[in-house]
Amino acid sequence: MLVVYSDIHETHAPVYELYEGNVVQHVEVPDRVETIRSALKDLPNFEIVEPRSFSDSELLSIHENRYKNYLRAQTKSVRSGQRFASLYIQDSYTPLTKGAYKAARSAAECALTAAQLVLEGSTVVYALSRPPGHHAETESMGGYCYFNNAAIASEYLSKKGKVAILDIDFHHGNGTQQIFYDRRDVLYVSLHADPTTSFPYKTGFSGEVGVGAGEGYTHNFIVPNDSTLLGYQEILTKALDKIRQYNPAYLVLSLGFDTYHRDPIGGFSLQTSDFARISRQINELEIPTVIVQEGGYFIPDLGSNAAAFLSEYARR
Ligand code: Q9C
Ligand code: ZN
């Protein structure tokens, strides 16, 4: 399996977030991706490749130009450490660092490269990207995300055929949902924690099903807190049925490991070996797939969780 990775992400190293106004240590740190990379690099069947470069047009097919320019200009003026933007921001969890723009742009290029490789005939490619993307909306950063990597890759693939996005991060992908809410050529299916009590709070309820031409092309499945594999897989089966009915040419998987039982900000009870079972079930779809890394914050076990999940795919 090809793994698209760039070390540019390291220039984005958030230090703290403001949670309910209090300074809390940031969990979306460079070590996340580094620990996954070192777990995969010695395994057979994995090959790490650099992202290709893309012009701004792919990024601008999803994000507003003024938001992109704002992010670039604002990060330039960060000297060291971090600060918070005043505009185009959803929450107080998503700081500007000196490297945020470059890292986010590179993460989008990782996802785009993975999409291009799938169009060139790879059955599955993994974008080992950070910062994550699924909370980023057309014109705002939020939930540790700046550009929506999975949405940018999906838009790119959608020129060649119908795309289904399956989002299995612990949190609802409000950005991805917003971006494709009125479209039927990209299906959005998400499994996540109850937004009544979990981030992003505002969206992800089961009554949100899309609008206009997109009505019926968004599906939100709420997974109860403390769910273990059995309960999780029951809901996953329903989500996969929606994807089968849609019959897409491509699958984009927004993959979060914050569903792990030891995750510091998650609330499900999945174990390392469960990730292999879950990926086997998704793999049964047999659709050419771009996997995009989203959340997952328990660093000591991130490498084994990623290896458990991806090794099932690497057999393909
Ligand atoms: N102090 C992703 O997983 N809530 N984003 C933070 C913890 C924000 C998660 C509260 C969670 C955002 C990509
Ligand atoms: Zn998450």
- Cβ 297 under 6 angstroms from ligand 1: no
Mean pLDDT (whole number) for 266-291: 98
Both tokens assigned to 1:
């399996």
CA distance 207 to 4: 36
Rounded Cα gap, residues 118 and 134, in angstroms: 20
User: Sign of the CA dihedral 16, 129, 89, 55?
Assistant: positive
Two structure tokens written together for 102:
């470059």
H helix intervals, the chain: 31-41, 56-60, 65-76, 100-119, 149-158, 174-180, 229-246, 272-283, 299-314
pLDDT digits (tens, 9 = 90+) for 109-133: 999 999 999 999 999 999 999 999 9
Length of the chain in terms of residues written: 316
Distance 237 CA to ligand 1 centre (A): 26
C-alpha 170 to ligand 2 mean position (Å): 5
In short, whether 24's Cβ falls inside 6 Å of ligand 1 is: yes
Query: 268 CA distance to ligand 1 centroid (A)?
Result: 14
Q: From the CA of 93, which ligand is nearest?
A: 1
Q: Is 135 annotated in the active site? A: yes
pLDDT bin (cut points 50, 70, 90) of residue 290 is very high
- What pLDDT score was predicted for residue 315? 72
Residue 33, pLDDT score: 98
Ligand 1 nearest atom to the CA of residue 19, by list position: 1
Distance CA 244, CA 28 (A): 33
Ligand nearest to the CA of 133: 1
Tens-place pLDDT, residues 1-15: 999 999 999 999 999
The alpha carbon of 171 and the centre of ligand 2 are apart by a number of angstroms equal to 4
pLDDT at 316: 66
Give pTM, 2 decimals: 0.98
Supply the pLDDT for residue 177: 99
Nearest ligand to the C-alpha of residue 20?
1
Percentage of the chain modeled with pLDDT above 70: 100
Query: Which of 8, 14, 27 minimizes the C-alpha distance to 171?
Result: 27
- What is the separation of C-alpha 11 from the centre of its chain, rounded to a whole number of angstroms? 19
Mean pLDDT value of segment 200-211: 98
Which of 171, 172, 198, 302 should be mutated for ligand 1, with most atoms under 8 A from CB? 171
Q: pLDDT of 24-49, one tens digit each?
A: 999 999 999 999 999 999 899 999 99
Active-site position among 135, 172, 192, 219? 135
The predicted model gives 256-278 an average pLDDT of 98
pLDDT, position 80: 84
Q: For ligand 1, is residue 171 a contact (CB within 6 Å)?
A: yes
Q: How far apart are the C-alpha atoms of 200 and 130, rounded to whole Å? A: 19
Each residue's pLDDT tens digit, 225-238: 999 999 999 999 99
What average pLDDT does range 134-139 have in this prediction? 99
